[in-house]
Amino acid sequence: MSRYLNSYYVNKNGMDKNELRNKLISTATRLFAERGLNGVSIRELSKSAGVSISMISYYFGGKEGLYSSVLQEQFSSFEQIDDINKTDSEALAKIEAYIRWIIVRHRNNPYLLRFYTSELTNPTQFFPSIVQPAIGNVIQILVQIIEDGIAKNQFRKDLNPVDTVLAMAGMVNYYFLSTLATQELINHSPERDQELIRHYMDIFTKGILS
Amino acid sequence: MSRYLNSYYVNKNGMDKNELRNKLISTATRLFAERGLNGVSIRELSKSAGVSISMISYYFGGKEGLYSSVLQEQFSSFEQIDDINKTDSEALAKIEAYIRWIIVRHRNNPYLLRFYTSELTNPTQFFPSIVQPAIGNVIQILVQIIEDGIAKNQFRKDLNPVDTVLAMAGMVNYYFLSTLATQELINHSPERDQELIRHYMDIFTKGILS
DNA sequence: CACATTATAACGAACGTTCGATTTATGGTG
DNA sequence: CACCATAAATCGAACGTTCGTTATAATGTG
Protein backbone atom coordinates (compact mmCIF):
# COMPACT_ATOMS: atom_id res chain seq x y z
CA MET A 1 0.00 0.00 0.00
CA SER A 2 2.99 2.26 -0.02
CA ARG A 3 3.10 5.20 -2.33
CA TYR A 4 5.73 5.95 -4.86
CA LEU A 5 7.26 9.38 -5.02
CA ASN A 6 6.52 9.91 -8.67
CA SER A 7 2.89 8.95 -8.31
CA TYR A 8 0.22 11.14 -6.86
CA TYR A 9 -2.73 8.96 -7.62
CA VAL A 10 -3.85 6.19 -5.30
CA ASN A 11 -6.75 4.09 -6.45
CA LYS A 12 -9.46 2.56 -4.31
CA ASN A 13 -7.68 -0.75 -4.98
CA GLY A 14 -4.93 0.57 -2.80
CA MET A 15 -2.49 0.22 -5.67
CA ASP A 16 -0.70 3.18 -7.08
CA LYS A 17 0.49 3.43 -10.66
CA ASN A 18 3.72 1.48 -10.27
CA GLU A 19 2.18 -1.20 -8.12
CA LEU A 20 -0.52 -1.77 -10.70
CA ARG A 21 1.99 -2.00 -13.52
CA ASN A 22 4.17 -4.41 -11.58
CA LYS A 23 1.19 -6.51 -10.62
CA LEU A 24 0.28 -6.90 -14.27
CA ILE A 25 3.83 -7.84 -15.22
CA SER A 26 4.24 -10.39 -12.44
CA THR A 27 0.87 -11.97 -13.09
CA ALA A 28 1.52 -12.12 -16.81
CA THR A 29 4.96 -13.60 -16.23
CA ARG A 30 3.47 -16.45 -14.27
CA LEU A 31 0.50 -17.12 -16.52
CA PHE A 32 2.31 -16.82 -19.86
CA ALA A 33 5.02 -19.13 -18.55
CA GLU A 34 2.41 -21.68 -17.58
CA ARG A 35 0.22 -21.62 -20.65
CA GLY A 36 1.76 -19.54 -23.39
CA LEU A 37 0.65 -16.36 -25.12
CA ASN A 38 -2.46 -17.85 -26.69
CA GLY A 39 -3.30 -19.87 -23.60
CA VAL A 40 -4.16 -16.86 -21.47
CA SER A 41 -6.85 -14.29 -22.13
CA ILE A 42 -6.38 -10.74 -20.97
CA ARG A 43 -9.70 -11.04 -19.17
CA GLU A 44 -8.40 -13.81 -16.96
CA LEU A 45 -5.07 -12.10 -16.64
CA SER A 46 -6.47 -8.77 -15.52
CA LYS A 47 -8.93 -10.45 -13.19
CA SER A 48 -6.13 -12.48 -11.67
CA ALA A 49 -4.13 -9.30 -11.18
CA GLY A 50 -7.13 -7.57 -9.61
CA VAL A 51 -7.07 -4.82 -12.20
CA SER A 52 -9.34 -3.54 -14.94
CA ILE A 53 -8.88 -5.14 -18.33
CA SER A 54 -8.30 -1.82 -20.04
CA MET A 55 -5.13 -1.24 -18.05
CA ILE A 56 -3.29 -3.70 -20.29
CA SER A 57 -3.87 -1.61 -23.37
CA TYR A 58 -3.33 1.57 -21.38
CA TYR A 59 0.10 0.64 -20.04
CA PHE A 60 1.43 -1.83 -22.57
CA GLY A 61 -0.47 -1.06 -25.75
CA GLY A 62 -2.20 -4.40 -25.71
CA LYS A 63 -1.62 -8.04 -25.00
CA GLU A 64 1.43 -8.41 -27.22
CA GLY A 65 2.98 -5.37 -25.65
CA LEU A 66 2.59 -6.90 -22.21
CA TYR A 67 4.09 -10.12 -23.47
CA SER A 68 6.99 -8.25 -24.98
CA SER A 69 7.63 -6.49 -21.67
CA VAL A 70 7.66 -9.80 -19.83
CA LEU A 71 10.17 -11.27 -22.27
CA GLN A 72 12.33 -8.17 -22.07
CA GLU A 73 12.49 -8.41 -18.30
CA GLN A 74 13.18 -12.14 -18.27
CA PHE A 75 15.92 -12.20 -20.83
CA SER A 76 17.68 -9.13 -19.55
CA SER A 77 19.18 -11.39 -16.87
CA PHE A 78 21.34 -13.02 -19.51
CA GLU A 79 23.65 -10.07 -19.34
CA GLN A 80 24.86 -11.21 -15.94
CA ILE A 81 26.89 -13.97 -17.53
CA ASP A 82 29.34 -11.36 -18.73
CA ASP A 83 30.57 -11.05 -15.14
CA ILE A 84 31.62 -14.70 -15.09
CA ASN A 85 33.88 -14.25 -18.06
CA LYS A 86 35.55 -11.17 -16.62
CA THR A 87 37.02 -12.98 -13.63
CA ASP A 88 40.61 -14.22 -13.63
CA SER A 89 39.61 -17.81 -12.93
CA GLU A 90 40.78 -20.80 -14.91
CA ALA A 91 38.54 -21.99 -17.73
CA LEU A 92 37.25 -24.89 -15.67
CA ALA A 93 36.28 -22.65 -12.78
CA LYS A 94 34.48 -20.35 -15.18
CA ILE A 95 32.55 -23.28 -16.56
CA GLU A 96 31.55 -24.39 -13.10
CA ALA A 97 30.42 -20.85 -12.35
CA TYR A 98 28.36 -20.89 -15.51
CA ILE A 99 26.70 -24.19 -14.60
CA ARG A 100 25.89 -22.80 -11.19
CA TRP A 101 24.49 -19.68 -12.82
CA ILE A 102 22.31 -21.51 -15.31
CA ILE A 103 20.92 -23.80 -12.60
CA VAL A 104 19.92 -20.91 -10.42
CA ARG A 105 18.46 -19.05 -13.37
CA HIS A 106 16.38 -22.05 -14.37
CA ARG A 107 15.12 -22.46 -10.86
CA ASN A 108 13.70 -18.96 -10.85
CA ASN A 109 12.83 -18.48 -14.45
CA PRO A 110 10.36 -20.72 -16.25
CA TYR A 111 10.98 -18.81 -19.46
CA LEU A 112 14.46 -20.24 -19.71
CA LEU A 113 12.89 -23.67 -19.52
CA ARG A 114 10.34 -22.87 -22.14
CA PHE A 115 11.80 -20.40 -24.56
CA TYR A 116 12.38 -23.15 -27.08
CA THR A 117 8.68 -23.78 -27.38
CA SER A 118 6.34 -23.07 -30.22
CA GLU A 119 4.73 -20.34 -28.16
CA LEU A 120 8.08 -18.86 -27.31
CA THR A 121 10.02 -19.43 -30.47
CA ASN A 122 7.35 -17.41 -32.14
CA PRO A 123 8.47 -14.49 -29.95
CA THR A 124 11.99 -15.09 -31.19
CA GLN A 125 10.48 -14.31 -34.57
CA PHE A 126 8.21 -11.51 -33.43
CA PHE A 127 10.64 -10.04 -30.93
CA PRO A 128 14.04 -11.14 -32.24
CA SER A 129 15.62 -8.05 -30.75
CA ILE A 130 14.92 -9.40 -27.27
CA VAL A 131 15.57 -13.10 -27.38
CA GLN A 132 18.21 -13.74 -30.00
CA PRO A 133 20.94 -11.40 -28.74
CA ALA A 134 20.51 -12.82 -25.23
CA ILE A 135 21.00 -16.41 -26.34
CA GLY A 136 23.68 -15.53 -28.84
CA ASN A 137 25.60 -13.62 -26.19
CA VAL A 138 25.66 -16.56 -23.79
CA ILE A 139 26.82 -19.00 -26.44
CA GLN A 140 29.49 -16.64 -27.66
CA ILE A 141 30.98 -16.10 -24.20
CA LEU A 142 31.03 -19.79 -23.40
CA VAL A 143 32.64 -20.65 -26.70
CA GLN A 144 35.32 -18.14 -25.86
CA ILE A 145 35.90 -19.75 -22.45
CA ILE A 146 36.35 -23.13 -24.08
CA GLU A 147 38.67 -21.70 -26.71
CA ASP A 148 40.78 -20.12 -23.99
CA GLY A 149 40.97 -23.44 -22.19
CA ILE A 150 42.11 -25.15 -25.38
CA ALA A 151 44.68 -22.47 -26.09
CA LYS A 152 46.13 -22.88 -22.58
CA ASN A 153 46.31 -26.65 -23.01
CA GLN A 154 43.77 -27.19 -20.26
CA PHE A 155 41.26 -28.79 -22.60
CA ARG A 156 41.67 -31.31 -25.38
CA LYS A 157 42.88 -29.79 -28.61
CA ASP A 158 40.38 -31.63 -30.78
CA LEU A 159 37.27 -30.19 -29.08
CA ASN A 160 34.76 -28.38 -31.23
CA PRO A 161 34.04 -25.37 -28.98
CA VAL A 162 30.50 -24.70 -30.16
CA ASP A 163 29.35 -28.30 -29.87
CA THR A 164 31.05 -28.57 -26.51
CA VAL A 165 29.19 -25.57 -25.18
CA LEU A 166 25.91 -26.98 -26.36
CA ALA A 167 26.70 -30.35 -24.81
CA MET A 168 27.55 -28.77 -21.50
CA ALA A 169 24.50 -26.54 -21.35
CA GLY A 170 22.41 -29.46 -22.46
CA MET A 171 23.38 -31.64 -19.55
CA VAL A 172 22.08 -29.05 -17.15
CA ASN A 173 19.04 -27.99 -19.11
CA TYR A 174 17.77 -31.42 -19.86
CA TYR A 175 17.52 -32.28 -16.23
CA PHE A 176 15.00 -29.50 -15.73
CA LEU A 177 13.20 -30.13 -18.97
CA SER A 178 12.64 -33.78 -18.23
CA THR A 179 11.66 -32.96 -14.70
CA LEU A 180 8.94 -30.78 -16.14
CA ALA A 181 7.92 -33.29 -18.77
CA THR A 182 7.63 -36.12 -16.33
CA GLN A 183 5.65 -33.93 -13.97
CA GLU A 184 7.92 -34.48 -11.05
CA LEU A 185 8.41 -31.66 -8.65
CA ILE A 186 11.56 -29.63 -8.92
CA ASN A 187 13.36 -29.92 -5.62
CA HIS A 188 14.54 -26.48 -4.72
CA SER A 189 17.09 -27.27 -2.06
CA PRO A 190 20.54 -25.71 -2.43
CA GLU A 191 22.00 -29.06 -1.40
CA ARG A 192 20.44 -30.76 -4.39
CA ASP A 193 21.77 -27.98 -6.59
CA GLN A 194 25.27 -28.54 -5.25
CA GLU A 195 24.93 -32.24 -5.85
CA LEU A 196 23.79 -31.64 -9.42
CA ILE A 197 26.56 -29.21 -10.20
CA ARG A 198 29.17 -31.59 -8.84
CA HIS A 199 27.71 -34.46 -10.81
CA TYR A 200 27.56 -32.67 -14.12
CA MET A 201 30.98 -31.15 -13.70
CA ASP A 202 32.35 -34.55 -12.93
CA ILE A 203 31.05 -36.13 -16.11
CA PHE A 204 31.82 -33.15 -18.22
CA THR A 205 35.34 -32.38 -17.16
CA LYS A 206 36.50 -35.94 -17.66
CA GLY A 207 35.38 -35.54 -21.26
CA ILE A 208 37.15 -32.30 -22.05
CA LEU A 209 40.32 -32.17 -19.99
CA SER A 210 43.49 -32.72 -21.94
CA MET B 1 -5.03 -40.77 -55.38
CA SER B 2 -4.87 -44.49 -54.72
CA ARG B 3 -7.86 -46.19 -53.18
CA TYR B 4 -7.99 -48.15 -49.99
CA LEU B 5 -9.60 -51.55 -49.91
CA ASN B 6 -12.03 -50.75 -47.13
CA SER B 7 -13.34 -47.66 -48.85
CA TYR B 8 -15.64 -47.69 -51.77
CA TYR B 9 -16.21 -44.01 -52.06
CA VAL B 10 -14.02 -41.65 -54.00
CA ASN B 11 -14.88 -38.01 -53.70
CA LYS B 12 -14.58 -35.40 -56.40
CA ASN B 13 -11.40 -34.26 -54.66
CA GLY B 14 -9.87 -37.55 -55.58
CA MET B 15 -9.40 -38.37 -51.91
CA ASP B 16 -11.06 -41.39 -50.41
CA LYS B 17 -12.04 -41.70 -46.80
CA ASN B 18 -8.64 -42.74 -45.44
CA GLU B 19 -6.76 -40.22 -47.52
CA LEU B 20 -8.92 -37.45 -46.17
CA ARG B 21 -8.34 -38.60 -42.61
CA ASN B 22 -4.60 -38.85 -43.17
CA LYS B 23 -4.50 -35.46 -44.83
CA LEU B 24 -6.09 -33.94 -41.75
CA ILE B 25 -3.67 -35.70 -39.42
CA SER B 26 -0.57 -34.74 -41.38
CA THR B 27 -1.65 -31.14 -41.77
CA ALA B 28 -2.53 -30.92 -38.09
CA THR B 29 0.78 -32.50 -37.13
CA ARG B 30 2.67 -29.82 -38.99
CA LEU B 31 0.57 -26.86 -37.88
CA PHE B 32 0.22 -27.84 -34.21
CA ALA B 33 3.96 -28.45 -34.04
CA GLU B 34 4.61 -25.01 -35.45
CA ARG B 35 2.14 -22.99 -33.41
CA GLY B 36 0.59 -25.12 -30.71
CA LEU B 37 -2.99 -26.13 -30.07
CA ASN B 38 -4.29 -22.62 -29.50
CA GLY B 39 -2.21 -21.17 -32.29
CA VAL B 40 -4.14 -22.86 -35.09
CA SER B 41 -7.84 -22.54 -35.87
CA ILE B 42 -9.72 -25.43 -37.38
CA ARG B 43 -10.83 -23.09 -40.15
CA GLU B 44 -7.24 -22.55 -41.24
CA LEU B 45 -6.38 -26.17 -40.64
CA SER B 46 -9.17 -27.59 -42.78
CA LYS B 47 -8.52 -25.05 -45.51
CA SER B 48 -4.85 -25.94 -45.49
CA ALA B 49 -5.73 -29.62 -45.78
CA GLY B 50 -8.12 -28.89 -48.62
CA VAL B 51 -11.02 -30.41 -46.73
CA SER B 52 -14.33 -29.19 -45.36
CA ILE B 53 -14.27 -27.89 -41.82
CA SER B 54 -17.02 -30.24 -40.75
CA MET B 55 -14.78 -33.23 -41.38
CA ILE B 56 -12.79 -32.50 -38.22
CA SER B 57 -15.79 -32.95 -36.01
CA TYR B 58 -17.00 -35.79 -38.18
CA TYR B 59 -13.84 -37.89 -37.93
CA PHE B 60 -12.18 -36.76 -34.72
CA GLY B 61 -15.04 -35.41 -32.66
CA GLY B 62 -13.58 -31.92 -32.68
CA LYS B 63 -10.33 -30.06 -32.45
CA GLU B 64 -9.09 -31.70 -29.26
CA GLY B 65 -9.81 -35.11 -30.69
CA LEU B 66 -7.66 -34.33 -33.70
CA TYR B 67 -4.91 -33.06 -31.44
CA SER B 68 -5.11 -36.17 -29.33
CA SER B 69 -4.79 -38.34 -32.44
CA VAL B 70 -1.71 -36.42 -33.53
CA LEU B 71 -0.06 -36.89 -30.14
CA GLN B 72 -0.93 -40.55 -30.09
CA GLU B 73 0.71 -41.10 -33.45
CA GLN B 74 3.81 -39.10 -32.60
CA PHE B 75 4.56 -40.65 -29.25
CA SER B 76 3.81 -44.18 -30.31
CA SER B 77 7.25 -44.19 -31.96
CA PHE B 78 8.81 -44.21 -28.49
CA GLU B 79 8.10 -47.90 -28.27
CA GLN B 80 10.82 -48.56 -30.84
CA ILE B 81 13.48 -47.95 -28.21
CA ASP B 82 12.58 -51.27 -26.66
CA ASP B 83 14.30 -52.95 -29.58
CA ILE B 84 17.60 -51.30 -28.71
CA ASN B 85 17.58 -52.77 -25.23
CA LYS B 86 16.80 -56.27 -26.46
CA THR B 87 20.01 -56.63 -28.44
CA ASP B 88 23.02 -58.41 -27.00
CA SER B 89 25.30 -55.42 -27.42
CA GLU B 90 27.50 -53.96 -24.72
CA ALA B 91 26.08 -51.08 -22.72
CA LEU B 92 28.18 -48.57 -24.60
CA ALA B 93 26.96 -49.82 -27.96
CA LYS B 94 23.39 -49.61 -26.73
CA ILE B 95 23.93 -46.03 -25.69
CA GLU B 96 25.36 -45.16 -29.07
CA ALA B 97 22.36 -46.80 -30.69
CA TYR B 98 20.12 -44.72 -28.47
CA ILE B 99 21.87 -41.48 -29.40
CA ARG B 100 21.54 -42.38 -33.06
CA TRP B 101 17.87 -43.15 -32.53
CA ILE B 102 17.08 -39.92 -30.71
CA ILE B 103 18.87 -37.85 -33.33
CA VAL B 104 16.90 -39.42 -36.14
CA ARG B 105 13.68 -39.06 -34.17
CA HIS B 106 14.33 -35.40 -33.54
CA ARG B 107 15.08 -34.79 -37.17
CA ASN B 108 11.70 -36.11 -38.23
CA ASN B 109 9.58 -35.19 -35.27
CA PRO B 110 9.12 -31.63 -34.12
CA TYR B 111 7.01 -32.86 -31.23
CA LEU B 112 10.03 -34.38 -29.57
CA LEU B 113 11.65 -30.98 -29.76
CA ARG B 114 8.66 -29.24 -28.34
CA PHE B 115 6.91 -31.58 -25.96
CA TYR B 116 8.38 -29.71 -23.03
CA THR B 117 6.49 -26.58 -23.95
CA SER B 118 3.57 -24.94 -22.29
CA GLU B 119 1.39 -25.93 -25.19
CA LEU B 120 2.59 -29.49 -25.05
CA THR B 121 3.05 -30.02 -21.37
CA ASN B 122 -0.58 -29.12 -21.09
CA PRO B 123 -1.28 -32.22 -23.16
CA THR B 124 0.77 -34.20 -20.68
CA GLN B 125 -1.84 -33.05 -18.21
CA PHE B 126 -4.83 -33.41 -20.48
CA PHE B 127 -3.62 -36.57 -22.15
CA PRO B 128 -1.32 -38.14 -19.57
CA SER B 129 -2.11 -41.57 -20.91
CA ILE B 130 -0.34 -40.71 -24.14
CA VAL B 131 2.71 -38.68 -23.25
CA GLN B 132 3.86 -39.70 -19.80
CA PRO B 133 4.23 -43.45 -20.35
CA ALA B 134 6.21 -42.79 -23.51
CA ILE B 135 8.73 -40.55 -21.78
CA GLY B 136 8.82 -42.66 -18.65
CA ASN B 137 9.48 -45.77 -20.70
CA VAL B 138 12.46 -44.26 -22.46
CA ILE B 139 14.03 -43.04 -19.24
CA GLN B 140 13.45 -46.35 -17.53
CA ILE B 141 15.10 -48.38 -20.28
CA LEU B 142 18.12 -46.12 -20.45
CA VAL B 143 18.57 -46.17 -16.70
CA GLN B 144 18.60 -49.94 -16.93
CA ILE B 145 21.26 -49.87 -19.64
CA ILE B 146 23.45 -47.69 -17.45
CA GLU B 147 22.87 -49.90 -14.43
CA ASP B 148 23.86 -52.94 -16.46
CA GLY B 149 27.02 -51.19 -17.54
CA ILE B 150 27.85 -50.36 -13.94
CA ALA B 151 27.14 -53.91 -12.79
CA LYS B 152 29.47 -55.27 -15.45
CA ASN B 153 32.22 -52.86 -14.41
CA GLN B 154 32.09 -51.08 -17.75
CA PHE B 155 31.01 -47.81 -16.20
CA ARG B 156 32.14 -46.00 -13.09
CA LYS B 157 30.61 -47.35 -9.94
CA ASP B 158 29.75 -43.94 -8.53
CA LEU B 159 27.49 -42.89 -11.39
CA ASN B 160 23.93 -41.87 -10.59
CA PRO B 161 22.07 -43.71 -13.38
CA VAL B 162 19.11 -41.37 -13.64
CA ASP B 163 21.18 -38.21 -13.73
CA THR B 164 23.54 -39.82 -16.20
CA VAL B 165 20.69 -40.66 -18.55
CA LEU B 166 19.42 -37.13 -18.39
CA ALA B 167 22.88 -35.76 -19.00
CA MET B 168 23.37 -37.96 -22.03
CA ALA B 169 20.01 -37.20 -23.57
CA GLY B 170 20.54 -33.53 -22.84
CA MET B 171 23.72 -33.33 -24.85
CA VAL B 172 21.90 -34.46 -27.93
CA ASN B 173 18.67 -32.61 -27.35
CA TYR B 174 20.20 -29.30 -26.54
CA TYR B 175 21.92 -29.14 -29.86
CA PHE B 176 18.56 -29.19 -31.63
CA LEU B 177 16.87 -26.93 -29.12
CA SER B 178 19.48 -24.24 -29.43
CA THR B 179 19.51 -24.64 -33.16
CA LEU B 180 15.81 -23.83 -33.08
CA ALA B 181 16.19 -20.99 -30.62
CA THR B 182 18.96 -19.32 -32.52
CA GLN B 183 17.01 -19.68 -35.72
CA GLU B 184 19.74 -21.49 -37.55
CA LEU B 185 18.74 -24.06 -40.07
CA ILE B 186 18.98 -27.67 -39.06
CA ASN B 187 21.37 -29.34 -41.43
CA HIS B 188 19.83 -32.60 -42.44
CA SER B 189 22.82 -34.41 -43.87
CA PRO B 190 23.57 -37.92 -42.56
CA GLU B 191 27.25 -36.93 -42.49
CA ARG B 192 26.55 -34.17 -40.00
CA ASP B 193 24.54 -36.62 -37.94
CA GLN B 194 27.45 -39.06 -37.89
CA GLU B 195 29.80 -36.28 -36.86
CA LEU B 196 27.47 -35.26 -34.04
CA ILE B 197 27.05 -38.77 -32.73
CA ARG B 198 30.78 -39.34 -32.74
CA HIS B 199 31.36 -36.05 -30.98
CA TYR B 200 28.81 -36.59 -28.23
CA MET B 201 29.82 -40.18 -27.67
CA ASP B 202 33.40 -39.05 -27.38
CA ILE B 203 32.71 -36.54 -24.63
CA PHE B 204 30.22 -38.72 -22.87
CA THR B 205 32.10 -42.01 -22.75
CA LYS B 206 35.21 -40.41 -21.31
CA GLY B 207 33.02 -39.28 -18.43
CA ILE B 208 31.38 -42.58 -17.59
CA LEU B 209 33.85 -45.34 -18.42
CA SER B 210 35.40 -46.98 -15.41
C1' DC C 1 -31.31 -45.25 -52.12
C1' DA C 2 -27.23 -45.02 -48.92
C1' DC C 3 -23.13 -42.92 -48.09
C1' DA C 4 -19.47 -39.43 -48.10
C1' DT C 5 -18.40 -34.94 -48.62
C1' DT C 6 -19.02 -30.10 -49.70
C1' DA C 7 -20.40 -25.39 -48.93
C1' DT C 8 -22.79 -22.43 -46.17
C1' DA C 9 -24.99 -20.52 -42.47
C1' DA C 10 -25.92 -19.98 -37.90
C1' DC C 11 -24.92 -20.37 -32.88
C1' DG C 12 -23.17 -18.87 -28.44
C1' DA C 13 -18.96 -18.05 -26.30
C1' DA C 14 -14.73 -15.95 -25.96
C1' DC C 15 -11.42 -12.97 -27.74
C1' DG C 16 -8.57 -8.23 -27.85
C1' DT C 17 -9.53 -3.52 -28.28
C1' DT C 18 -11.83 0.84 -27.72
C1' DC C 19 -14.33 4.44 -25.52
C1' DG C 20 -16.99 7.35 -22.51
C1' DA C 21 -17.54 8.09 -17.72
C1' DT C 22 -15.63 8.44 -13.23
C1' DT C 23 -12.26 9.16 -9.68
C1' DT C 24 -8.20 11.32 -7.96
C1' DA C 25 -4.16 14.43 -7.38
C1' DT C 26 -2.25 18.69 -8.71
C1' DG C 27 -1.51 23.58 -9.60
C1' DG C 28 -3.31 27.99 -10.29
C1' DT C 29 -6.34 31.62 -8.67
C1' DG C 30 -8.75 34.48 -5.59
C1' DC D 1 -7.65 28.29 2.78
C1' DA D 2 -11.27 27.44 -0.65
C1' DC D 3 -12.28 26.78 -5.19
C1' DC D 4 -11.83 25.12 -9.79
C1' DA D 5 -9.96 23.55 -14.17
C1' DT D 6 -7.03 20.07 -15.78
C1' DA D 7 -4.66 15.95 -16.65
C1' DA D 8 -3.73 11.36 -15.25
C1' DA D 9 -5.46 6.93 -13.83
C1' DT D 10 -8.91 3.59 -13.70
C1' DC D 11 -13.12 1.31 -14.62
C1' DG D 12 -16.81 -1.29 -16.88
C1' DA D 13 -19.52 -1.70 -20.85
C1' DA D 14 -19.76 -2.23 -25.58
C1' DC D 15 -17.83 -3.34 -30.17
C1' DG D 16 -16.52 -6.12 -33.91
C1' DT D 17 -14.06 -10.31 -34.81
C1' DT D 18 -12.90 -14.97 -34.44
C1' DC D 19 -13.43 -19.20 -32.28
C1' DG D 20 -15.30 -24.33 -32.24
C1' DT D 21 -19.40 -26.57 -33.06
C1' DT D 22 -23.58 -27.90 -35.24
C1' DA D 23 -27.24 -28.10 -38.61
C1' DT D 24 -28.76 -28.12 -43.27
C1' DA D 25 -29.22 -28.50 -48.16
C1' DA D 26 -26.85 -29.84 -52.25
C1' DT D 27 -23.76 -32.81 -54.90
C1' DG D 28 -21.29 -36.69 -56.34
C1' DT D 29 -20.48 -41.81 -56.04
C1' DG D 30 -21.38 -46.83 -55.65
Strand partners of residue A155? A209
> Domain segments of chain B: what residues?
2-61, 74-206
Residues 37-66 of B with CB under 7 A from strand C: 50-55, 58
Measured from the Cβ of residue B194, the count of other Cβ atoms closer than 10 Å reads: 12
- pLDDT tier, A19 (very low <50, low <70, confident <90, very high otherwise): confident
Mean pLDDT over B15-40 rounds to 82
pLDDT in tens, B137-150: 777 788 888 888 88
> What b-and-e string marks burial along A67-79, b requiring 16 or more CB atoms within 10 Å of the CB?
bbbbbeebbeebe
Query: Residue B6 phi/psi, 5° resolution?
Result: -85, 15
pLDDT attached to residue B108: 52
Q: Would you say domain B74-206 falls under CATH 1.10.357.10?
A: yes
Mean pLDDT over A103-113 rounds to 59
Rounded to a whole number of angstroms, the distance from the CA of A162 to the nearest CA of chain B is 10
> What class has domain B2-61?
mainly alpha
Q: Which of B18-22, B95-99, B177-181 has the lowest mean pLDDT?
A: B177-181
pLDDT attached to residue A86: 79
pLDDT at A77 over 70: no
Q: Which residues contact B12 (CB under 8 A, 6 or more apart)?
A: none
Q: Any chain B CB within 8 A of the CB of A73?
A: no
pLDDT at B74 over 60: yes
Q: Measuring from the CA of residue A52 to each C1', which nucleotide is nearest? A: D11
pLDDT attached to residue A109: 56
pLDDT in tens, A29-38: 888 877 778 8
Question: Do the Cβ atoms of A38 and B36 come within 8 Å?
Answer: yes
Residue A18 Cβ under 7 A from any strand D atom: no
Pick from A43, A41, A64, A40: nearest CA to A52:
A43
- Rounded to whole angstroms, what are the CA distances from A9 to A17, A53, A175, A195? 7, 19, 47, 50
Q: Do domains A2-61 and A74-206 have the same CATH topology?
A: no
Pick from A109, A105, A19, A24: nearest CA to A61:
A24
Q: Are B167 and A203 in contact (CB under 8 A)?
A: yes
Rounded to a whole number of angstroms, the distance from the CA of B145 to the nearest CA of chain A is 17
Mean pLDDT over A162-183 rounds to 58
